[in-house]
C-alpha cells in the first residue's frame, strides 16, 4: 500500500492542466459497445477506474487500440457475451462503480446482461433501483440473485415508453439512455439527470445516429434507431479536478492558473467557491487564482449563516463538498455543509479536527465549519484516505498544514486523479509517494 508523505506550508505556483473527466469517461467508454463501428475517444485520463473499465471492455472482445497518450480507438464488432458468465468478469466489474453502465449497451445490443454489485466509493447506500426500474419500463425482466450477488436483466426486445425516474441518478440516466437509443419507438425520460457528463454522452450518441432531444434538461426524448455508427469524441476537462485545484490554491495561498477549463460547462461551481470568498479571474478559458492570505465566507442576504448543499445538476455536485469543507476551515466566517445525497461522506472531518480545524459534525449529513481565518495553521498528522474526494480534501489540508502528514490508502485518490503527486510537485509541492 502506498502512502503520500507531505511536508506542508509551502505556497505553490504555476499552471496546471485538468485531466479528462473521470465520470464522463466511464459513460462514454460504456457507449462504445453500442456500435460495431470504430469509436475514437480523446482526452482519456490515465486513472485507475478508467483503466479498469477499458480492461473490461477489452475482455468483452472489443478491439482497443491506443492511438496516443490520451486517445483510444474502440471497435466493438465482436462482443463475447459469454465473458459475462465468468468469475473474472464478476471480480473486475465489482471493482468500480462505472462498470454498471455496461448493462444498458449490452442489453440494447444482445438482449441480456448481468452485473455484480458494483464498487466505487463507500460513501453510504448506493442503490441501483433507478437503473433497473428504467430497464423494466423498457420491457426487460429483472432478477437479483442474492446467493451470487448478481443482477440479471433480460429482454428480447426493448420498447420505448414514458418513464418518470424515482430520482435523477447520474449513472442510472446514462444506462437508460444507452438502452433506449436502440429500443423500438419513442422513450421519454422525466426527472433525468443532466450533468455535463450526460450532455456529452447524448451529444456523442446523436453523432452516432441516435435521436435524442432535450439534452441538458431533465426531460429527454429518444426516438429509437435500428443501429448506431462510429464517431469521434473528446472528453471535457474534469470539473471535479478543476474545483479541487481552486480549493487547493485558496487553502495554500498559492497563485495557480488552471488551463482550458471549459468554463461554460462548470455551472455553479465557480460561484460556490466565490461564496467562500475566493477570488478568481477568468482569462479566456483559464481560471487564474491569485495568492490570497484571507478569504471571507459570505452570509445569506439576511445575515444568517451560509449553507452549501449538494443537488442534482444544475445544483452543486456532491463530489466537491469535501473540498469546499476543507477550504472553509481556513476562511473567515462560518458555513454549514449539507451533504444531502450520501450519508457517509463527511466522517473524514474527524481527521481535520485532529489537525486543528474547528468543525462540528452535526449528524452524518451536516457539518458546521468555523473558519480559523489563518490565525492557526492546521498541523500535519497521519491519516488514511476514506474515499476519493475526502482523500484529496485531506491532501489539500496536508499541503497547507504545519509539519509533515502521511496519507495512506491513496489508491482511493489514484482512482480519480491522474499522477497527482507529480503534477503537484511541478507546482512546488513537497510530496512524496512512498511505496511499501
Ligand X SMILES: C=C(OP(=O)(O)O)C(=O)O
Q: What amino acid positions are annotated as catalytic residues?
A: 121
The answer to the question of residue 391 lying near ligand X (CB under 6 A) is no
In the bound state with ligand X, the residue whose beta carbon lies nearer, of 388 and 395, is: 388
In the bound state with ligand UD1, the residue whose beta carbon lies nearer, of 85 and 167, is: 167
Q: Which of ligand UD1, ligand X, none does residue 167 bind (CB under 5 to 8 Å by kind)? A: ligand UD1
Q: Which of ligand X, ligand UD1, none does residue 416 bind (CB under 5 to 8 Å by kind)? A: ligand X
CA pair distance 288, 279, nearest whole angstrom:
9
Q: Which of 224, 333, 386, 416 binds ligand X (CB under 6 A)?
A: 416
In the bound state with ligand X, the residue whose beta carbon lies nearer, of 97 and 137, is: 97
> Is-contact 291 257, C-beta < 8 A?
no
Tell me the binding residues for UDP-N-acetyl-alpha-D-glucosamine: 97, 319, 341
Instruction: Return the residue nearest ligand X (CB atom).
Output: 120
Whether residue 308 has a cis bond before it, omega within 30° of 0: no
Q: Exposed, middle or buried by CB within 10 Å (0-12, 13-18, 19+), for 397? A: buried
Q: Shortest approach of ligand X to residue 272 CB, angstroms?
A: 16
Q: Which of ligand UD1, ligand X, none does residue 16 bind (CB under 5 to 8 Å by kind)? A: none
> Is-contact 183 162, C-beta < 8 A?
no
In the bound state with ligand X, the residue whose beta carbon lies nearer, of 54 and 401, is: 54
CA distances from 223 to 141, 158, 252, 376 (A): 22, 12, 50, 59
Q: Which of 52, 351, 365, 389 binds ligand X (CB under 6 A)?
A: 389
Question: What H or E segment, with its residue span, contains residue 257?
Answer: strand 255-258
Q: Mask: binding to ligand X, 275-314, rule CB under 6 A, as x and -?
A: ----------------------------------------
C-alpha cell recorded at residue 429: 509541492
Q: Which of ligand X, ligand UD1, none does residue 388 bind (CB under 5 to 8 Å by kind)? A: ligand X
In the bound state with ligand X, the residue whose beta carbon lies nearer, of 98 and 270, is: 98
CA pair distance 20, 6, nearest whole angstrom:
26
> Is-contact 369 333, C-beta < 8 A?
no
In DSSP terms, 308 is beta-bridged to 337
Q: Write out the residues near ligand UD1 by the rule CB under 6 A.
A: 23, 26, 97-98, 126, 167-172, 193, 312, 317-319, 341-342
Cα R_g (the chain), whole angstroms: 22
What are the two backbone dihedrals, phi and then psi, of residue 259, each rounded to the nearest 5 degrees? -85, 150
C-alpha cell recorded at residue 403: 509539519
Q: Which of ligand X, ligand UD1, none does residue 312 bind (CB under 5 to 8 Å by kind)? A: ligand UD1
Q: Which of 236, 242, 388, 401 binds ligand X (CB under 6 A)?
A: 388
Interface with ligand X in residues 115-134 (CB under 6 A):
120-121
Q: What is residue 7's three-state secondary structure?
A: strand
Neighbours of 148 (CB within 10 A): 11
Q: Give the binding site for ligand X (CB under 6 A).
A: 22-23, 49, 97-98, 120-121, 319, 388-389, 416
Amino acid at each position: 500500500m502506498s502512502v503520500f508523505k507531505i511536508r506542508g506550508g509551502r505556497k505553490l505556483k504555476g499552471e496546471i492542466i485538468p485531466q479528462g473527466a473521470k465520470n464522463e469517461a466511464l459513460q462514454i467508454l460504456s457507449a462504445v459497445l453500442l456500435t460495431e463501428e470504430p469509436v475514437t475517444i480523446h482526452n482519456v485520463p490515465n486513472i485507475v477506474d478508467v483503466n479498469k473499465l477499458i480492461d473490461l471492455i477489452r475482455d468483452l472482445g472489443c478491439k482497443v487500440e491506443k492511438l496516443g497518450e490520451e486517445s483510444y480507438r474502440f471497435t466493438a464488432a465482436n462482443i463475447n457475451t459469454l465473458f459475462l458468465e465468468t468469475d473474472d468478469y464478476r471480480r473486475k466489474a465489482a471493482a468500480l462503480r462505472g462498470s454498471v453502465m455496461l448493462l444498458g449497451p449490452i442489453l440494447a445490443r444482445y438482449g441480456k446482461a448481468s452485473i455484480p454489485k458494483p464498487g466505487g466509493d463507500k460513501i453510504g447506500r448506493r442503490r441501483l433501483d433507478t437503473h433497473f426500474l428504467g430497464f423494466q419500463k423498457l420491457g426487460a425482466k429483472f432478477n437479483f440473485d442474492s446467493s451470487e450477488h448478481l443482477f440479471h436483466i433480460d429482454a428480447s426486445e426493448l420498447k420505448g415508453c414514458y418513464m418518470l425516474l424515482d430520482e435523477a441518478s447520474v449513472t442510472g440516466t446514462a444506462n437508460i439512455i444507452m438502452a433506449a437509443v436502440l429500443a423500438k419507438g419513442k422513450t421519454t425520460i422525466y426527472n433525468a439527470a443532466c450533468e455535463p457528463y450526460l450532455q456529452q454522452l447524448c451529444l456523442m450518441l446523436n453523432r452516432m445516429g441516435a435521436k435524442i432531444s432535450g439534452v441538458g434538461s431533465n426531460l429527454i426524448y429518444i426516438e429509437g434507431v435500428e443501429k448506431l455508427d462510429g464517431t469521434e469524441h473528446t472528453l471535457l476537462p474534469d470539473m471535479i479536478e478543476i474545483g479541487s485545484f481552486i480549493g487547493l490554491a485558496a487553502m495554500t495561498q498559492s497563485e495557480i492558473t488552471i488551463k482550458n477549463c471549459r468554463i461554460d460547462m462548470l455551472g455553479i461551481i465557480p460561484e460556490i467557491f466565490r461564496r467562500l470568498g475566493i477570488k478568481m479571474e477568468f482569462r479566456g478559458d483559464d481560471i487564474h487564482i491569485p495568492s490570497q492570505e484571507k478569504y471571507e465566507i459570505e452570509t445569506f442576504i439576511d445575515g444568517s449563516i451560509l449553507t452549501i448543499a449538494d443537488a442534482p445538476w444544475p445544483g452543486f455536485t456532491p463530489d466537491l463538498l469535501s473540498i469546499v469543507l476543507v477550504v472553509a476551515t481556513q476562511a473567515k466566517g462560518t458555513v454549514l455543509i449539507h451533504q444531502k445525497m450520501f450519508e457517509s461522506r463527511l466522517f473524514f472531518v474527524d481527521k481535520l479536527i485532529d489537525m486543528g480545524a474547528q468543525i462540528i459534525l452535526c449528524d452524518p449529513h451536516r457539518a458546521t465549519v468555523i473558519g480559523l481565518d489563518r490565525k492557526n495553521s492546521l498541523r500535519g498528522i497521519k491519516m488514511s484516505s476514506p474515499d476519493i474526494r475526502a482523500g484529496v480534501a485531506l491532501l489539500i489540508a496536508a499541503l497547507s498544514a504545519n509539519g509533515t502528514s502521511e496519507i495512506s490508502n491513496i489508491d482511493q485518490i489514484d482512482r480519480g486523479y491522474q499522477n497527482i503527486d507529480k503534477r503537484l510537485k511541478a507546482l512546488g509541492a513537497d510530496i512524496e509517494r512512498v511505496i511499501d
